[in-house]
Amino acid sequence: MVASAPAGQPIGADIEHIPPAVFDGFDSYALSPAERATLQADDAGSRLRLWVAKEAVLKAAGHGLSIEPHTLSISDSRCAGLPDAEGMELFWLDGMAGFASALAVPAGAEIIRRELAELLTS
């Protein structure tokens, strides 16, 4: 996956393979208490969906993993717990079976999706 934006416009993207199960300790490292309370014990897909959203937001905000992901909470395409993320909008991307992916951009940003074949032929 590749994501780009005009100079000075924040953008963050992440993609991860969804494993059959997450590692021991994943929930306490990656998920807020509110998120942990809503997930089924064996739902690796939902956990990875939250993880890629948090990584995308943290990248767009310029922090990367210098901020502990469990301190953030994802809900309704928004991220709470990080003032730098206010005004960011999240998009979950479809297209690759077995993977979770997300994009974080400033709210209202124009999103143009291109397929690899289209880019290679232009």
Coil/strand/helix, residue 119: helix
- Quote the DSSP letter at residue 115: -
The pLDDT confidence band at residue 116, using thresholds 50, 70 and 90, is: confident
Q: Residues 105, 88: contact at Cβ < 8 Å? A: yes
Considering the entire predicted model, what is its pTM? 0.89
Strands 99-106 and 73-75, sheet pairing: unpaired
The CATH class for the domain spanning 12-121 reads: alpha beta
Q: Model confidence over 43-69: pLDDT tens digits?
A: 999 999 999 999 999 999 999 999 999
HSE-up (13 A, CA, CB side) for residue 97 = 0
Extents of the domains making up the chain = 12-121
Q: Model confidence over 14-33: pLDDT tens digits?
A: 999 999 999 999 999 999 99
